[in-house]
């Protein structure tokens, strides 16, 4: 090679191996010399030649030696050395060989920095990305990430998988580890990652947009977390993504258009978020999609026709998405479709040809929509169908599906529709076609207006049938004995029909039956003894029939029975002891309104866990058994309308949990037991029409005149002044023997104290008393008979409303021939007396143009001697806001100005009650049905049945009792907080949102974390129009006007959201609400 004779060429290699750091030399004659790096201080080496260094060739013959099969670092340098006798000299650093200081320094630096690099095969990026992931975890309860340190190679860390070839991270899986924190954006540096699975943890914050760098990613599982913000647009960079699961988070905004670039996506699961903006048409471009689930997102909008491009689609779920309009026909051409679910939306129609192109369909779920017309008969072509659920729609016409083709069907749920065949008497003929459905488990057709006879072929249904519900239909005729062939039944509901004849004895063959409901029919004859064979029976309801004879003692064999109602029949004989020896009876035993005789058996003491016992209106005799005192779980006891005599047994004092006790209309005597006024939970006591004597207490339940009744007991005395009972007589003999001067000494100071108290009380309360007297002057006096005539005997034609405690009738009083509204309290309902008192106290102190005007009240007895309470109000011809919003009878709807005016009126009324009355009044039950409209559509707040006057003792509200109406009640009431004006503000906020969106707070779409408040909040500020009731929006011709309207809508919704915050201190003040609504109203009026 033309090299000089005086120079000796040598290649020097610094090698890091498994056995340590070594130096390797190779001379020109390819001889290798190996030596370990010597210990000791580093010495300077100099080259005696200035010749250039050059890299020659790779010494493979040296590196093939066993110790160098897997070198991790090689520094190869060619240097020119003076020729020596032995090449060994250049190995030892203590020799006189001269090597460049630069070279050796470089070698040492590389060796020191290579320690980490060598350990991770050069994949420092993955290592640091994982450490960054760990650093952003704030809580690791299971110590999953403790082993994520330098002691182990990261490929051996928990939850990490690496490729065999490159040792790069290919999967990060940490399922259900309860990790808390945020997701590090450095995860986007794991460039070889194919699977990122972090479900069921507690990550917060946004999804890092850096994930879009993961071009190799195929599976992304980020569900069951608390991620918020929008779906990152650059997820489209994950070009190989096949599974995208972002469900059960708090993601908001719309689906980004870039999502359509994921051409390999097969699973898109985004359910249970807060996404809006509708299901976008561009999603149809992802033609590879097999699974799409967007359940429980407030999308709104229509279903795009482009989804028909998903030719590979198998599963489609979009329930509770606020979708409306028609279901596009193109979707029903997807021949691979297996499950199609769109419940709880506002869809109005489906294609009549549905079923023709769906040979693989197994589940069709369209319940709780507004679908009309006839259920398409072509559904019978879906021969693989397992579930057919179309309940709670507006389908009409005869049910014409040929079920004989649906041999795999398990669930047919079509309840709450109208399948009457318009005059035809064979609405039930479809039953015949069900005999081939041998796998049928549930058939639900309640409240479907099915008219006809239940055919004998009902017995041909599958022996796998578990639930059969045909209640609330006008079915007539007898119940076929073939019903006994359905031996798999656990639930049989046939209540509220018109069945006649006897209950078939074959019903005793239904050994698996747990619930049997035949109430409100016209069954006659005796109760079959064979019902006692139903040993698994939990609930039996036979009330409101024409059943006769004895109660079968065989019912004592139903050892799991917890609820039994045989009320309103014609049963005779004694109460069987066997029935009272069922400790399983815990919920209800109702034998009322029959003709049972004899005494109450002492075995009743076995019912220690029973809550409700009603034996009223029978012919029971004797004394009230002391054994009742052992039924310590009773909350309601009704023994009225019998022939009991004697005293109230002292053993009843142990029934401290009683809320209602009614022993009226018997022959009971003696004094009223003192323990009755010590029961703190007692809400209503009725001992009227007996023969009690002595003094009536004025404490406990006896302190509230509307909470008890003692009418028809002529020997009672004392009590509240309003009872108008005679004063109790004093003991005269004691009076005579008492010295007069002692009386004077005792009486004089007492009189002085009383006079002082009266003076102070009058000085403090004279304004309120004056108000009350004025209030009493303006009320007319009206009798029960006058109200009876005014309402035409309280006829159903005049019934205009019903509530929890009352019924409201329209009537005309003779005094001025003007229409009035008569609110009759249903005193048999628990809490009705308290409601009456609350309303009377509230109306006595208030008067406002936006409050319902009361004309008078009536406290009397009816012609049967029962207590009667009623309130008479000014009649509101335009009905309630609830009817305007939700009743199909109202063809006209409220426009935007009317809605804002109503809300302003209600807010003004609440502001008056909270801030401008002498005593703050809390309404307690604000909802659309309590807002009434007069001739001029001015709103009036009514129904103060739950009202409370703050700062007084006029109304006592139990903190443990439920207040208000579900959906409108603030959350703090649910945990026992007292009623406050802030609670009214919350109810107003919900009312406002309902008025503006047209959606009830109890709508089916609101579940699993979504409620009306959140639904409205998510629409702010740019998507408010999407949630506003269509009838409220008036299209404006000018863009500027439209923008103003949208701003007003957003401002109104913001008020509703601010008022309905969970935290009371965060809610708006009502006076601010009035000003804001007034401003919005002025803006709208000037457009």
Let me know if 925 is a catalytic residue.
yes
CB 287 within 8 A of CB 313: no
Which of 176-180's residues contact partners 24+ apart within 8 Å by CB, and which partners? 176/200, 176/201, 177/140, 177/142, 177/144, 177/201, 178/139, 178/141, 178/142, 178/202, 179/137, 179/139, 179/140, 179/144, 179/145, 179/203, 180/137, 180/138, 180/139, 180/140, 180/204
Using CB atoms within 10 A of its CB, is residue 776 exposed (0-12), middle (13-18) or buried (19+)?
exposed
Q: What is the rounded distance in angstroms from the CA atom of residue 1080 to the CA atom of residue 1045?
A: 9
Q: What is the rounded distance in angstroms from the CA atom of residue 498 to the CA atom of residue 173?
A: 61
Q: Provide the edge-to-edge strand list for the sheet that holds 806-812.
A: 780-781, 854-861, 867-874, 819-825, 806-812, 799-802
Using CB atoms within 10 A of its CB, is residue 744 exposed (0-12), middle (13-18) or buried (19+)?
exposed
Phi, psi of 827 (to 5 degrees): -65, -15
| Residue 69 in marked binding region | no
Q: How many CA atoms lie within 13 A of 184 on its CB side?
A: 17
Closest C-alpha among 438, 434, 392 to residue 413? 392
Strands 854-861 and 780-781: parallel
Q: Angle 1012-1019/981-997 helices, nearest 10 degrees?
A: 60
Using CB atoms within 10 A of its CB, is residue 20 exposed (0-12), middle (13-18) or buried (19+)?
exposed
Coil, helix or strand for 837? helix
Query: Alpha-carbon torsion 1068, 1072, 1077, 1083, what sign?
Result: negative
Q: How many CA atoms lie within 13 A of 831 on its CB side?
A: 14
CB 228 within 8 A of CB 207: no
Q: What beta strand segments (E) does 636-758 contain?
A: 636-638, 645-646, 660-662, 667-671, 684-686, 691-696, 708-709, 715-718
Strands 475-478 and 498-502: parallel
Q: How many CB atoms lie within 10 A of CB 50?
A: 6
Q: Which of 614, 867, 925, 984 is catalytic?
A: 925
Query: Which residues are bridge partners to 221 per DSSP?
Result: 197, 245
Q: Angle 896-915/1039-1059 helices, nearest 10 degrees?
A: 30
Helix extents (H) in 672-783: 732-737, 740-778
Q: How many CB atoms lie within 10 A of CB 741?
A: 8
CB 1045 within 8 A of CB 1034: yes
Closest C-alpha among 550, 638, 625, 639 to residue 595? 550
Which of 981-984's residues contact partners 24+ apart within 8 Å by CB, and which partners? 981/913, 981/914, 981/920, 981/922, 981/950, 981/1070, 982/1064, 982/1067, 983/922, 983/924, 983/1064, 984/910, 984/913, 984/914, 984/922, 984/923, 984/924, 984/926, 984/1070
Strands 339-341 and 315-317: parallel
Q: Is the peptide bond before 1021 cis (omega within 30 degrees of 0)?
A: yes
Q: How many CB atoms lie within 10 A of CB 922?
A: 26
Q: What is the rounded distance in angstroms from the CA atom of residue 571 to the CA atom of residue 526?
A: 8
Q: What is the rounded distance in angstroms from the CA atom of residue 381 to the CA atom of residue 373?
A: 19
Q: Which residues are part of a known binding site for ATP?
A: 823
Q: Which residues are annotated as a binding site?
A: 823
Q: Which residues are catalytic?
A: 925
């Amino acid at each position: 090679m033309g090299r000089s004779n005086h120079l000796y060429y040598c290649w020097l290699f610094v090698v890091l191996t498994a056995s340590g750091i070594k130096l390797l030399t190779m001379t020109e004659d390819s001889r290798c010399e190996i030596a370990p790096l010597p210990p000791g201080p580093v010495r300077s080496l100099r080259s005696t030649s200035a010749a250039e260094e050059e890299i020659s060739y790779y010494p493979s013959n040296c590196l093939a030696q066993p110790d160098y099969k897997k070198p991790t670092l090689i520094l190869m340098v060619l240097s020119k050395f003076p020729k020596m006798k032995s090449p060994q000299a250049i190995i030892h650093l203590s020799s006189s060989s001269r090597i460049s200081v630069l070279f050796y320094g470089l070698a040492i630096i590389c060796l020191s920095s290579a320690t980490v690099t060598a350990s991770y095969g050069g994949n420092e990026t993955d290592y640091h990305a994982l450490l960054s992931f760990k650093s952003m975890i704030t809580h690791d309860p299971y110590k999953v990430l403790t082993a994520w340190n330098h002691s182990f190679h990261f490929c051996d860390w928990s939850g990490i998988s690496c490729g065999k070839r490159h040792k790069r991270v290919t999967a990060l899986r940490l399922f259900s580890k309860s990790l808390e924190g945020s997701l590090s954006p450095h995860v986007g540096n794991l460039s070889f990652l194919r699977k990122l699975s972090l479900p069921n943890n507690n990550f917060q914050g946004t999804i890092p947009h850096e994930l879009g760098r993961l071009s190799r990613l195929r599976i992304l599982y980020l569900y069951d977390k608390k991620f918020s913000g929008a779906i990152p647009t650059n997820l489209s960079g994950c070009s190989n993504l096949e599974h995208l699961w972002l469900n059960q988070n708090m993601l908001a905004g719309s689906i980004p258009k870039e999502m359509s670039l994921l051409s390999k996506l097969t699973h898109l699961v985004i359910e249970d978020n807060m996404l809006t903006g509708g299901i976008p048409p561009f999603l149809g471009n992802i033609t590879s999609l097999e699974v799409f689930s967007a359940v429980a997102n407030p999308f709104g909008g229509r279903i795009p026709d482009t989804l028909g491009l998903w030719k590979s689609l198998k599963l489609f779920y979009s329930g509770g998405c606020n979708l409306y309009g028609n279901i596009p026909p193109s979707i029903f051409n997807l021949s691979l479709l297996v499950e199609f679910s769109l419940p709880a939306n506002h869809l109005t129609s489906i294609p009549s040809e549905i079923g023709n192109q769906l040979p693989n369909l197994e589940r069709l779920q369209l319940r709780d929509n507004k679908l009309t017309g006839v259920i398409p008969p072509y559904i019978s072509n879906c021969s693989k169908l397992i579930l057919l659920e179309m309940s709670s729609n507006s389908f009409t016409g005869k049910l014409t599906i040929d079920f004989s083709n649906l041999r795999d069907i398990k669930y047919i749920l079509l309840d709450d529709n109208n399948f009457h065949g318009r005059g035809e008497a064979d609405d039930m003929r479809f039953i015949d076609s069900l005999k081939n459905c041998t796998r049928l488990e549930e058939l639900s057709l309640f409240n479907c207006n099915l008219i006809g006879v239940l055919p004998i072929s009902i017995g041909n249904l599958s022996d796998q049938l578990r639930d059969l519900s045909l209640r609330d239909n006008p079915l007539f005729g007898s119940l076929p004995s073939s019903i006994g062939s359905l031996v798999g039944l656990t639930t049989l509901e046939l209540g509220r029909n018109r069945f006649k004849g006897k209950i078939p004895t074959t019903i005793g063959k239904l050994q698996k039956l747990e619930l049997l409901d035949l109430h409100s029919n016209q069954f006659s004859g005796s109760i079959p003894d064979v019902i006692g064979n139903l040993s698994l029976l939990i609930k039996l309801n036979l009330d409101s029939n024409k059943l006769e004879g004895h109660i079968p003692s065989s019912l004592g064999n139903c050892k799991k029975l917890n609820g039994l109602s045989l009320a309103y029949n014609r049963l005779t004989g004694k109460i069987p002891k066997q029935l009272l020896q069922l400790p399983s009876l815990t919920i209800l035993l109702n034998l009322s309104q029959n003709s049972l005789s004899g005494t109450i058996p002492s075995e009743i003491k076995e019912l220690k866990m029973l809550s409700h016992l009603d034996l009223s209106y029978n012919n029971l005799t004797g004394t009230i058994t002391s054994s009742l005192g052992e039924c310590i779980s009773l909350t309601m006891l009704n023994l009225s309308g019998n022939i009991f005599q004697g005293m109230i047994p002292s053993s009843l004092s142990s029934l401290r949990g009683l809320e209602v006790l009614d022993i009226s209309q018997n022959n009971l005597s003696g004094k009223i037991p003192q323990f009755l006024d010590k029961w703190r939970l007692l809400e209503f006591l009725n001992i009227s029409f007996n023969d009690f004597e002595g003094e009536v207490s004025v404490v406990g339940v006896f302190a509230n005149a509307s909470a008890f009744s003692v009418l028809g007991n002529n020997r009672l005395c004392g009590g509240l002044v309003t009872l108008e009972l005679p004063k109790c007589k004093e003991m005269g003999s004691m009076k005579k023997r008492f010295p007069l001067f002692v009386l004077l000494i005792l009486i004089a100071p007492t009189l002085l104290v009383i006079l002082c108290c009266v003076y102070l009380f009058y000085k403090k309360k004279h304004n309120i008393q004056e108000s009350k007297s004025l209030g009493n002057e303006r009320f007319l006096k009206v009798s029960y008979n006058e109200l009876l005539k005014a309402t035409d005997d309280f006829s159903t034609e005049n019934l205009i409303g019903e509530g929890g405690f009352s019924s409201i009738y329209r009537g005309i009083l003779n005094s001025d021939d003007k229409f009035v509204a008569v609110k009759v309290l249903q005193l048999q309902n628990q809490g009705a007396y308290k409601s009456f008192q609350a309303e009377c106290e509230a109306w006595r102190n208030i008067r406002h143009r936006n409050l319902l005007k009361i004309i008078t009240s009536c406290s009397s007895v009816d012609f049967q001697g029962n207590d009667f309470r009623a309130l008479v109000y000014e009649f509101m011809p335009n009905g309630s806001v609830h009817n305007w919003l939700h009743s199909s009878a109202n063809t006209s709807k409220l426009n935007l100005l009317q809605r804002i005016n109503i809300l302003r009126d209600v807010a003004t009324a609440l502001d008056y009650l909270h801030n401008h009355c002498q005593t703050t009044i809390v309404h307690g039950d604000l909802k659309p049905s309590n807002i009434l409209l007069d001739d001029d559509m001015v709103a009036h707040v009514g129904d103060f049945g739950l009202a409370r006057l703050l700062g007084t003792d006029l109304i006592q509200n139990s903190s443990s009792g439920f207040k208000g109406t579900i959906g409108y009640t603030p959350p703090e009431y649910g945990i026992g907080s007292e009623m406050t004006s802030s609670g009214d503000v919350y109810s107003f906020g919900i009312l406002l949102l309902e008025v503006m969106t047209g959606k009830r707070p109890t709508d089916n779409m609101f579940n699993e974390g979504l409620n009306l408040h959140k639904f409205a909040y998510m629409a702010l500020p740019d998507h408010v129009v999407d949630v506003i009731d269509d009838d409220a929006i008036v299209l404006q011709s000018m863009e500027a006007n439209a923008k103003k309207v949208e701003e007003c809508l957003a401002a109104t919704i913001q008020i509703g959201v601010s008022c309905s915050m969970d935290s009371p201190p965060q809610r708006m003040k009502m006076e601010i609400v009035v000003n804001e609504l007034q401003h919005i109203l002025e803006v709208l009026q000037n457009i």
